[in-house]
């Protein structure tokens, strides 16, 4: 393996350690993003070298392709039913292990899969540790129909809430709207500080046109925090 950058060393360390939680016979939710990709590679290595027998439920087309490439049997969530464990990355986690996720645009499948799991483990490097959520933009998956009106309704709603910033932008890639695996689009909320995440999450999901938001509250059980020296803290 080529020498890793300090940040990739931290991500890899967290991913490798968390992947040791997976035992033969388990059905495992496979997260999305660069840290989750390390975990999928680690599991693939165990499948090939140790004969680990698992079934994986990917949370995006990207992860599904990687999982297949490394030799993991891939199932859809409806085929798998309830999952033993999901391992995924995060954009932020706070001291209560509440999360902001969605920078990779896979928050909807990630939230459904994590919620359908006996245990959700997050793998992170120290840049993801925050005292309070909100410095990272909060992703909202919205249906394309009436998107500007949905954006306006969210902006109006934010003015009544305990947040520090109120800018809402549509996620674009190469000048085109970013499209999720479900054919939806993403609004990014630049809030800087989220005072009451549970209230915000409930209110966002009441806006017509909003499919799901990137706040993962009371879902994560454990964080594997990787450091640049390869050490991992379990929180
Ligand atoms: C994708 C996600 C990712 O897990 C999150 O953005 C972290 O990504 P990375 O491990 O690349 O920093 O929520 O929707």
Q: Which of the residues in the chain have pLDDT under 50? A: none
Q: How far is the CA of 193 from the centre of ligand 1 (A)?
A: 20
Contact 214, 133 (CB under 8 A): no
ipTM (interface pTM): 0.98
Q: Whose CA is nearest to atom 5 of ligand 1?
A: 90
Q: What is the pLDDT of residue 77?
A: 97
Q: Whose CA is nearest to atom 6 of ligand 1?
A: 103
Active site (annotated) includes residue 3: no
3-state SS class at 203: helix
Quote the pLDDT of residue 81. 92
118 Cα to the center of ligand 1, angstroms: 21
Confidence at residue 160, expressed as pLDDT on a 0 to 100 scale: 86
**Which pLDDT belongs to residue 162?**
81
Instruction: State residue 2's pLDDT score.
Output: 67
Q: Which residues line ligand 1 (CB under 6 A)?
A: 31-36, 88-91, 101-107, 110
Ligand 1 mean position, distance from CA 190 (Å): 17
Question: Within a 10 A sphere around the Cβ of 53, how many other Cβ atoms?
Answer: 11
Buried/exposed code over 149-171 (b: 16+ C-beta within 10 A; e: otherwise):
ebbebbeeebeeeebeebebeeb
User: Atom 8 in ligand 1: which residue has the minimum CA distance?
Assistant: 33
What is the distance in A from the centroid of ligand 1 to the CA of 150?
Answer: 25
Q: Which atom of ligand 1 sits closest to the CA of residue 37?
A: 10
> Are the C-beta atoms of 114 and 101 separated by less than 8 Å?
no
What is the longest distance spanned by two Cα atoms in the chain? 55
Enter the pTM of the model. Answer: 0.96
**Which residues lie below 8 Å from residue 129, measured CB to CB, with a gap of 6+?**
92, 93, 225
Q: Which of 34, 62, 103 to mutate for ligand 1's pocket (most ligand atoms within 8 Å of CB)?
A: 103
């Amino acid at each position: 393996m080529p020498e890793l950058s300090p940040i990739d060393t931290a991500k890899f360390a967290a991913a490798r350690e968390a992947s040791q939680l997976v035992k033969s016979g388990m059905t495992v939710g496979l997260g999305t993003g660069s840290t989750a990709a390390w975990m999928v590679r680690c599991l693939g290595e165990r499948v090939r070298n140790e004969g680990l027998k698992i079934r994986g439920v990917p949370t995006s087309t990207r992860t599904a392709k990687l999982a297949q490439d490394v030799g993991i049997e891939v199932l859809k969530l409806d085929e798998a039913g309830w999952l033993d464990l999901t391992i995924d990355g995060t954009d932020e986690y706070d001291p209560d292990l509440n999360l902001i996720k969605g920078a990779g645009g896979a928050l909807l499948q990630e939230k459904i899969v994590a919620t359908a799991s006996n245990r959700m483990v997050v793998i992170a490097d120290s840049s993801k540790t925050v005292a309070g959520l909100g410095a990272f933009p909060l992703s909202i998956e919205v249906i394309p129909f009436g998107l500007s009106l949905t954006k306006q309704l969210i902006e109006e709603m934010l003015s009544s809430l305990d947040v520090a910033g109120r800018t809402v932008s549509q996620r674009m890639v190469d000048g085109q709207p970013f499209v999720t695996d479900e054919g939806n689009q993403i609004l990014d909320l630049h809030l800087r500080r989220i005072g009451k995440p549970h209230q915000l999450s409930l209110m966002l999901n009441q806006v017509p046109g909003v499919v799901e938001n990137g706040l993962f509250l009371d879902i994560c059980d454990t964080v594997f925090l990787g450091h640049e020296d390869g050490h991992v803290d379990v929180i």
